Amino acid sequence: MSRFSPLVRCTTVLLFGLVPAILLGCGGTKTAKIDVFPEYAVNDPATATQTQSDVAITVAPLSKARMYELPELFAFQKDGIAKEIAGGINFGVHHEKDFEGKYWCYTFGVGEDQIAVFQVEIRNGTGHILRMADARIYFEVDGQEPYPATTRFGEAALVPGTTEIAPVVPTSYKNQDQTLVHWITHFEMEAERKRPKQTLFDSQQRIPIGLASQVIQQNQPAYKLVASPEAEILPGRSLKGILVFPVVVTAPQASVVFYDIHTKADAAGNVTEKQTFRIPLQLRRVQMQWDGKQEKRWKRVGASS
């Protein structure tokens, strides 16, 4: 056992500048942190909702800046997280209870690796059923191949990992099955791979691989995929859910495009009209600061740029 108390040991290390500012202090509270990350915004708010032949589609980009608006997606119970993840020494560095006793995890990205994801509502004002299996939904950037929307949820059950940084991984990541759970974990691993490594206490800074999929599983009813082949919209009804594309938010300009939306059909149910809905997007950057004293939440600093 060391002859130094925990406070003396921590103070000694801090004096010699060996602990990065983003680590937990000895009292268990985070020091001031700033997070700057990319997000998409609709170019013109007037185009966020588009209507053609009695079908209306509304698209709203998601990002970490909106996390606290959506507890059904991003708030979670720690006791519902596998002990291999929640019990790690790195969990408390990245996550702690807020002033309401809630834990939060933005599941669609870490740092610069923010995934293109959107809330969507499709309103069917026609007299026939809209089947999303008939539609084709893409994230498009000039000069690149279109990215199709993720159509399946996947399997979040944990299995042994294959690397030191991930003692467990979701089944879908191990199987590389191209589902939501697979892609979320893929980008967690990418963020950890690119994270600047520290020479001291680096294990405390490791991103908790698999946490996002655990949070998604805990909140699964809210993670309704609009692009699911099973999704249908009855006449006079709406479908609300999310669109996830396996691409990191980097392109200055992009679009979410809905092809082959069956806007008209004859009495026999044969399609007589298909429409395309295109929502142009622009990249901007958001700056947020960690409030570790009162709310224990991230707060927006100034306007987005």
Following DSSP, what letter does each residue of the chain receive, concatenated? --SS-HHHHHHHHHHTT-S-TTSB-TTS-BPP-EEEEEEEEESSGGGSEEEETTEEEEEEE--GGGGGG-HHHHEE-GGGS-HHHHTSTTHHHH----TTS-EE--TTEETTEEEEEEEEEEEE-SSS-EEGGG-EEEEE-TTSPPEEPP-------EEEEEETTEEEEEHHHHHT--SHHHHHHHHHHHHHHHSPPPSSSGGGTS--TTHHHHHHHHTGGG--BTT-TT-EE-TT-EEEEEEEEEEES--SEEEEEEEEEEEEE-TTS-EEEEEEEEEEEEEEEEEEEEETTTT-EEEE-S---
**Structure-model confidence comparison of residues 107 and 163, the more confident one:** 107
Q: What is the pLDDT of residue 180?
A: 97
Beta bridge partners of 238: 123
What sign has the CA pseudo-torsion 283, 109, 226, 236? negative
Q: Tokens standing for 8? A: 């003396």
Backbone angles phi, psi at 187, to 5 degrees: -75, -25
Q: Tokens standing for 296? A: 């224990």
Q: What is the pLDDT of residue 74?
A: 97
pLDDT in tens, 98-140: 999 999 999 999 888 999 999 999 999 999 999 999 999 999 9
- Asked if 79 and 101 touch (Cβ cutoff 8 Å), the reply is no
- 267 pLDDT band, cuts 50/70/90, is confident
Q: What is the pLDDT of residue 303?
A: 63
Q: What is the pLDDT of residue 159?
A: 95
- Asked if the model's pLDDT at residue 26 lies above 70, the reply is no
Query: How high does pLDDT run on average in the chain?
Result: 87
Q: What is the pLDDT of residue 268?
A: 80
**Among the ranges given (27-36, 99-108, 193-202, 269-278), the one the predictor scored with the smallest mean pLDDT:** 27-36
Q: What is the pLDDT of residue 143?
A: 93
Q: What is the pLDDT of residue 4?
A: 37
- Asked if 140 and 216 touch (Cβ cutoff 8 Å), the reply is no
**How much is the pTM?**
0.85
- Asked if the model's pLDDT at residue 229 lies above 90, the reply is yes
Q: What is the pLDDT of residue 98?
A: 95
Alpha carbons 186 and 193: distance in angstroms, whole number: 11
Q: What is the pLDDT of residue 30?
A: 41
Q: Which of 137, 125, 117 is nearest to 62 (CA)?
A: 117
Q: What is the pLDDT of residue 301?
A: 87
Alpha carbons 110 and 159: distance in angstroms, whole number: 22
Domain boundaries of the chain, sorted by first residue: 1-31, 35-300
Alpha carbons 204 and 221: distance in angstroms, whole number: 32
